[in-house]
Structure 1
Amino acid sequence: FMAELFKMEVPEIYDGVIEIKAVARDPGSRAKIAVISYDNSIDPVGACVGMRGSRVQAVVGELQGEKIDIIPWNEDQATFLVNALQPAEVSKVVFDEEANKIEVVVPDEQLSLAIGRRGQNVRLASQLTGLDIDILTDEEESKRRQAEFNSRTALFMEALDLDEFFAQLLVAEGFTNLEEVAYVEQDELLTIDGVDEGTAAELQARARDVLEAKNKAALEAARALGAEDSLIEFEGLTPQMVEALAKDGVKTLEDFATCADWELAGGWTTVNGQRVKDEGLLEPFDVSLEEAQTLVMTARVLLGWVDPTELEPEADDAEDDDDNEEVGA
């Protein structure tokens, strides 16, 4: 509705010179609209604002005074998000493509502005960009990173029987878990000062022994909880994942196939205008929503609930689209 109002007030939008790429609204209160210009000589934000704000004020009037932030759209998601969080200033953006999440670091004094009243600013920015957004202050990020460093150091000290200095070297080189140490190419370990081939081989052997012991323990715990072979042997689930599922009552492949992707990967819901985090059963194992969808669909196919041939037309359509693009080119 708001996009159509802008189209009526801004001739450049009606003519296609400016495009509205995204809109997010909290009706009656505030909205954000992202625009892009296909003519370098035309400023998309300025055109939508109009002389002395005449164009945007006409839309605001139609919406009974709803405040509107006009945002320049950018195909770079991090840049777009910085724009979407205006008027707050952003210090740093860390984007997790696999999880489709983004972490935004702001100066301490900018936190309330970034979040907005009752979380409105960050909620609208999230809707506008389609991303889950975590906002931290500079101090919070520093504390969190130090806590992560200490936690990983302690993990390597205990699991691999290392002294603190050596464990810190591993963390400083970017190693975050035992799996990385166990299965990384040995050459990556050899780049660490003081690590030769013998030391690298010993580190990997220790890491693999610990992982095997953990897998065995998790498998025994899962079976004790009632997990059946159909779930345990399902490709894509680790013993730790099976144990976590069994603890929540998911004990068979049939149980797993009835799960929604967000139940596994986690997500967000809106309750009374507030975004509430839904913890996924497999979220601690960094299972993304897309991975969860694939796992659940694979389970349904194996059980015969879904005919795999019914999924093929989607691939065929994609190929047809590609062919059409090539013809058009």
Structure 2
Amino acid sequence: MTMDTAIARPELLLVADAVAREKQIDREEVLEAMEQAIQKAGRAKYGHEKDIRATIDRKTGDVRLSRWTEAVETVENEETQIPIHIARKFKPDIEVGGHLVDPLPPIDFGRIAAQTAKQVIVQRVREYERKRQYDEYKDRVGEIITGVVKRTEYGNLMVDLGRSEALLRRDETIPRENLHNGDRVRAFIYDVREEPRGPQIFLSRTHPGFLAKLFAQEVPEIYEGIIEIKAVARDPGSRAKMAVISRDSSIDPVGACVGMRGSRVQAVVAELQGEKIDIIPWSPNPATFVVNALAPAEVSKVVLDEEAGKVEVVVPDTQLSLAIGRRGQNVRLASQLTRWDIDILTEAEESERRQEEFRRRSGLFVEALDVDDVIAGLLVTEGFEGVEDLAATPVEELAAIEGFDEGIAAELQRRAEVALERKATELEDKRRALGVADDLAGLEGLSPAMLVALGEKGVKTLDDLADLASDELIEIVGADAMDEDAANAIIMAARAHWFEGEEDAG
């Protein structure tokens, strides 16, 4: 007995077309959602354990319901599987893994079944819509987008982008900026995340990238790549610094960004609620870049410490307040822009500190070498940091210093060596008095001064040192004495005796 198991429902296709247009998702995805809804209703009628499948004809709208049973060697689930030898009675050419498809009578949707089907369709359509939104915006991070403020939630703004909503948090808006429902707003997409409740598009008006993209819209040379924005630092709503460089020597990057009578920069300033913008030329030379970044303050001298990532800037006394800026704003932005830790001194402070350093180092030479202030001053002027430098310098080089001869040079070096021996003896005696063990003193990489410092902190045995972390060891001996790798190596050497028994057993 054959039975027509299809119901023509052309209205399903019309509904699918309407939903696809409204939600701007693919028609096929809507039809798949409908099939899943009918499938769920079919399982509710014929059994949830059974493999019930529904199909909708894409041309006529015919709905077919069928039960699928898999042919297997050993049955594990009687609801969805059938032994292969029985399956071949119905379909002789079936193989293991194939399916018997039995048409089922069409179901008449009751109120509850229809409601369930509607919920499934709505849920699936929402999932497809979220996927479409995420796929559309995931590659647009770093762009400026325009939307309309839709509503406010706990001070955060929900922005309607047309086909999606985005979040503009309160701390991502410019201070003292009042945005109300219905206002058009431009913002920077800085993150897009796929979350259980749907894609989250995060906007910002305080991000440095927002300022850079605004200039790219206003300055054709930036858009075309002739001028490159190398760095941006912002104090949103107050002040910003932007470093630019031109790939064409005939084009002034700063002038191009400012525009005729300031037209280009003023357009950006207006969008950023009056935020003052300093546009400075970028330089590959760190000292030059730091000087440019501190504009409009004048700089007298720059001293770089590349290892520490610090730079010392000396300015005239009259320029100090300008260099620091209101509440430290100018130096803070310059530091963010250049990624150097900037320390500002006046010429008077720098001179006083230099004199103090000169007196300190001269005093060390006077005390250690038993020489007068003149000779000690000459040694400091020549750049000798301490007695160790003096002892390691050949006599010929010392004799070449103006005012010295070979006799003086030889005597200075002899006194330096004696001073070092005396200091080593004093440190060794102190180390023993503190009770620092000899096997700890025998570790490579620990100087007599470090051993004394460890003893003063109660680290007196190999086990005491082995129990330390690298940052604790560095804190005791001083950051200038060793780096993290050296500290780790010393600690591992101190722990070596813990494993000697294991190695022998192995």
TM-score normalised according to structure 2 size: 0.50
- Equivalent residue of 1:176, what SS? coil
Over 3 Å counting, the alpha-carbon distance change for 1:64 and 1:293 in structure 2 is: farther
| Counterpart in the other structure of 2:478 | 282
- Structure 2: which 5+ runs fail to align? 1-208, 497-506
Over 3 Å counting, the alpha-carbon distance change for 1:253 and 1:75 in structure 2 is: farther
| Counterpart in the other structure of 2:412 | 203
2:345 is the alignment partner of 1:136: yes
Q: Indicate if the aligned counterparts of 2:470 and 2:484 stay in contact, CA closer than 8 A.
A: no
Over 3 Å counting, the alpha-carbon distance change for 1:82 and 1:167 in structure 2 is: same
Comparing both chains, which one has the higher relative contact order based on Cα–Cα distances under 8 Å and sequence gaps of 6 or more? 1
| Counterpart in the other structure of 2:50 | none
Greater mean alpha carbon deviation, residues 207-216 or residues 128-137: 207-216
2:467 is the alignment partner of 1:258: no
Shift of 1:58: 2.6
Equivalent AA in structure 2 for residue 38 of structure 1 = R
2:264 is the alignment partner of 1:55: yes
| Counterpart in the other structure of 1:36 | 245
**CA distance in structure 1 between the aligned counterparts of 2:282 and 2:422, rounded to whole angstroms:** 50
| Counterpart in the other structure of 2:274 | 65
Q: How does 1:103-252 map to 2 (within 5 A)?
A: 103-218=312-427, 221=430, 232-233=441-442, 235-244=444-453, 247=456, 252=464
**CA distance in structure 2 between the aligned counterparts of 1:68 and 1:242, rounded to whole angstroms:** 54
| Counterpart in the other structure of 2:63 | none
How many equivalent residue pairs? 284
| Counterpart in the other structure of 1:294 | 485
Over 3 Å counting, the alpha-carbon distance change for 1:89 and 1:303 in structure 2 is: same
More helix by share: 1
Q: Deviations over 1:25-82 (max 9, x none)?
A: 2233322111111011111111222222222223323333222211100111111111
- Structure 1: which 5+ runs fail to align? 265-279, 306-329
**CA distance in structure 2 between the aligned counterparts of 1:229 and 1:5, rounded to whole angstroms:** 67
Q: Indicate if the aligned counterparts of 2:470 and 2:488 stay in contact, CA closer than 8 A.
A: no
Root mean square deviation of aligned Cα: 3.1
Q: Indicate if the aligned counterparts of 2:471 and 2:484 stay in contact, CA closer than 8 A.
A: no
Shift of 1:111: 0.6
Greater mean alpha carbon deviation, residues 198-207 or residues 65-74: 198-207
Shift of 1:156: 1.0
- Equivalent residue of 1:168, what SS? helix
Q: Indicate if the aligned counterparts of 1:250 and 1:256 stay in contact, CA closer than 8 A.
A: no
Based on CA coordinates, which of the two structures has the bigger radius of gyration?
2
Q: Percent identity?
A: 62
**CA distance in structure 2 between the aligned counterparts of 1:240 and 1:131, rounded to whole angstroms:** 32
**CA distance in structure 2 between the aligned counterparts of 1:9 and 1:153, rounded to whole angstroms:** 59
Q: Indicate if the aligned counterparts of 1:256 and 1:299 stay in contact, CA closer than 8 A.
A: no
Q: Indicate if the aligned counterparts of 2:440 and 2:494 stay in contact, CA closer than 8 A.
A: no
**CA distance in structure 2 between the aligned counterparts of 1:65 and 1:237, rounded to whole angstroms:** 58
2:224 is the alignment partner of 1:12: no
